[in-house]
């Protein structure tokens, strides 16, 4: 057998959704699972349980894999450096990954590349935040540089008084990142993939809608986006991937800022398949999970064209329905064109447990496609 073995650190839904792509291509996908019951485990043949913060555990897992990649960005850099010293093929490499692990490192890198950042500063005290607010205006956005996700680790401060209330964050971490509160028209996602040899491809730039800091809906391509903004955003993401040496899939989260050249600012980077790229699973010639596997194996990348004029992805979070399958008959009957992706997770309020994709037909408008996706997602969430 000459098919490659891919080791994925982390057993969440992203690792789980790599499995069908691996099966289709004949690859052997293995997961280093945080616990026996994480949702990627039933999707693969081998899923040892272990702590990704333990170097010996990582070493043991990496033995016999052709490439090591990730479901999340939390593996410590020094462990990845040690694995590379052992001869393990780690993709993406830690010097690229650090830009997705640490928002201060990322802001400095974006600045170095001459790409558009919001006003930002590293702050080590409440007085530093107050000074930033006086210079750039209130409100400001305070962020934990490391460890945040789904809006946890992001705080809007309306005034110097709020800054005082943020003092407890400095006990957890210092310095923190402070940013101007960007007056954006919407959020965009520029999704790309790059191989170690340097081939790269971008998917059409999408619009993403967050609710309470959590990605709720994605529309691809971003409706009515000016062609020059879409091109510049995709070019910026490709440049980031190339210059930082990113491998695999990378999402650049952007703020669209009409009237403020070049029409967008960089928010943050993710170096793995991303929620804003789930639309590609059914809506693009090559989905992000297949592309990630191809990229980390240094294989030629697939075409990224959208398969419909509009593709809508809608997440469903845990709600009233505790038995998701009991709602499938009604959900699938409501919209035969919808594709359902369930993550095999137990239902807890507000927990991301699945998404649906809708590929709009030629004469469907954005509103109709969004309504179709929402109808199905709500039936599954509510059970009716």
Ligand X SMILES: Nc1ncnc2c1ncn2[C@@H]1O[C@H](COP(=O)(O)OP(=O)(O)O)[C@@H](O)[C@H]1O
298 binds, among Mg ion, ligand X, none (CB under 5 to 8 A by kind): none
126 has binding-site annotation: no
149 binds, among Mg ion, ligand X, none (CB under 5 to 8 A by kind): ligand X
362 has binding-site annotation: no
User: In the complex, what is the shortest distance from the CB of residue 353 to Mg ion, in angstroms, rounded to a whole number?
Assistant: 19
Q: What is the distance in angstroms between the CA of the first residue and the CA of the last residue of the chain? A: 48
Question: Would you count residue 102 as binding ligand X (CB under 6 A)?
Answer: no
Could you give the 3-state DSSP secondary structure of residue 6? strand
Q: Which is nearer to ligand X, 137 or 151 (CB)?
A: 151
Give the span between the Cα atoms of 176 and 217, in whole angstroms: 29
Stretch in the footprint of ligand X (CB under 6 A) among 141-149, 219-227, 352-360, 366-374: 141-149
Write out 107-150 in H/E/C secondary structure: HHHHHHCCCCCCCEEEECCHHHHHHHHHHHCCCEEEECCCCCEC
3 binds, among ligand X, Mg ion, none (CB under 5 to 8 A by kind): none
Question: Would you count residue 5 as binding ligand X (CB under 6 A)?
Answer: no
Question: Would you count residue 118 as binding ligand X (CB under 6 A)?
Answer: yes
Site for ligand X in 205-264 (CB under 6 A): 210, 213, 253
User: In the complex, what is the shortest distance from the CB of residue 55 to ligand X, in angstroms, rounded to a whole number?
Assistant: 26
Q: Which is nearer to ligand X, 181 or 371 (CB)?
A: 181
Stretch in the footprint of ligand X (CB under 6 A) among 61-69, 146-154, 309-317, 323-331: 146-154
Q: Which two tokens stand for residue 313?
A: 């992805």
Helices 288-296 and 13-25 meet at what angle, rounded to 10?
70
Please identify which residue in 66, 199, 268, 298 interacts with ligand X, judged by CB under 6 A: 268
Question: Would you count residue 179 as binding ligand X (CB under 6 A)?
Answer: yes
User: In the complex, what is the shortest distance from the CB of residue 261 to ligand X, in angstroms, rounded to a whole number?
Assistant: 18
143 has binding-site annotation: yes
Could you give the 3-state DSSP secondary structure of residue 315? strand
Give the span between the Cα atoms of 197 and 185, in whole angstroms: 37
Residue count (the chain): 384
Question: Would you count residue 25 as binding ligand X (CB under 6 A)?
Answer: no
User: In the complex, what is the shortest distance from the CB of residue 274 to ligand X, in angstroms, rounded to a whole number?
Assistant: 10
**Do 14 and 71 meet the contact criterion of CB atoms below 8 Å apart?**
yes
Q: Which residues of 90-108 are buried (b: 16+ CB within 10 A; e: fewer)?
A: bbbbbebbbbbbbbbbbbe
Q: Which is nearer to Mg ion, 3 or 149 (CB)?
A: 149
Stretch in the footprint of ligand X (CB under 6 A) among 51-59, 151-159, 238-246, 325-333: 151-159
Pairing outcome for strands 352-359 and 176-180: unpaired
111 has binding-site annotation: no
Q: Which two tokens stand for residue 238?
A: 């490709």
290 has binding-site annotation: no
Question: Would you count residue 267 as binding ligand X (CB under 6 A)?
Answer: yes
Please identify which residue in 36, 42, 137, 151 interacts with ligand X, judged by CB under 6 A: 151
User: In the complex, what is the shortest distance from the CB of residue 152 to ligand X, in angstroms, rounded to a whole number?
Assistant: 6
Q: Which is nearer to Mg ion, 95 or 268 (CB)?
A: 268
Q: Which is nearer to ligand X, 234 or 254 (CB)?
A: 254
Pairing outcome for strands 264-270 and 28-32: unpaired
Stretch in the footprint of ligand X (CB under 6 A) among 18-26, 68-76, 148-156, 352-360: 148-156
**Interface residues with Mg ion (CB under 5 A)?**
253, 268
User: In the complex, what is the shortest distance from the CB of residue 49 to ligand X, in angstroms, rounded to a whole number?
Assistant: 26
Give the span between the Cα atoms of 107 and 116, in whole angstroms: 10
The stretches of the chain forming alpha helices (DSSP H) are 13-25, 55-62, 77-86, 94-101, 103-112, 126-136, 160-165, 167-172, 227-244, 280-283, 288-296, 328-334, 366-382
Which H or E run contains 65? none
**Do 64 and 88 meet the contact criterion of CB atoms below 8 Å apart?**
no
Beta bridge partners of 269: 252
Question: Would you count residue 149 as binding ligand X (CB under 6 A)?
Answer: yes
Cα angle for residues 225, 228, 234 (degrees, 5° grid): 85
335 has binding-site annotation: no
Task: Note the residues at the interface with ligand X (CB under 6 A).
Answer: 118, 141, 143, 148-151, 153-154, 179, 181-182, 187, 210, 213, 253, 267-268
Residue ranges at the known binding site: 103, 143, 179-182, 187, 267-268
């Amino acid at each position: 057998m000459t098919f490659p073995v891919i080791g994925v650190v982390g057993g969440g839904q992203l690792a789980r959704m790599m499995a069908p792509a691996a099966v289709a291509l004949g690859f052997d996908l293995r997961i280093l699972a945080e616990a026996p019951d994480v949702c990627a485990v039933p999707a693969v043949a081998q899923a040892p349980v272990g702590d990704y913060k333990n170097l010996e555990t990582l070493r043991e897992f990496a033995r016999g894999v052709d490439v090591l990649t990730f479901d999340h960005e939390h593996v410590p850099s020094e462990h990845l450096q040690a694995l590379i010293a052992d001869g393990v093929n780690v993709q993406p490499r830690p010097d690229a990954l650090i830009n997705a692990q640490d928002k201060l490192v990322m802001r400095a890198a974006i600045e170095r590349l001459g790409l558009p950042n919001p006003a930002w500063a590293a702050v080590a005290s409440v007085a530093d935040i107050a000074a930033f607010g006086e210079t750039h205006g209130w409100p400001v956005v305070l962020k934990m540089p490391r460890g945040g996700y789904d809006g946890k680790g992001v705080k809007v401060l309306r005034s110097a008084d709020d800054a005082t209330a943020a003092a407890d964050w400095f006990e957890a971490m210092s310095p923190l990142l402070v940013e101007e509160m960007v007056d954006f028209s919407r959020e965009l996602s520029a999704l790309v993939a790059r191989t170690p040899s340097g081939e790269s491809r971008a998917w059409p730039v999408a619009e993403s809608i967050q609710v309470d800091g959590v990605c709720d809906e994605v529309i691809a391509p971003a409706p009515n986006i000016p062609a020059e903004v879409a091109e510049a955003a995709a070019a910026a993401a490709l440049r980031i991937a190339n210059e930082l040496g990113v491998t695999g899939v990378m999402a650049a989260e952007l703020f669209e800022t009409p009237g403020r050249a070049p029409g967008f600012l960089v928010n943050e980077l993710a170096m793995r398949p991303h929620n804003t790229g789930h639309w590609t699973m059914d809506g693009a010639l090559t989905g992000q999970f297949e592309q990630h596997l191809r990229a980390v194996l240094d294989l030629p990348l697939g075409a990224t064209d959208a398969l419909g004029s509009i593709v809508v992805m809608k997440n469903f979070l845990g709600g009233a329905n505790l038995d998701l399958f009991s709602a499938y008959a009604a959900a699938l009957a409501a919209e035969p064109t919808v594709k359902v992706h369930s993550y095999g997770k137990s239902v807890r309020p507000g927990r991301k447990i699945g998404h649906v994709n809708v590929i709009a037909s030629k004469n469907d408008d954005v509103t109709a496609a969004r309504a179709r996706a929402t109808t199905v997602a709500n039936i599954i969430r509510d059970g009716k």
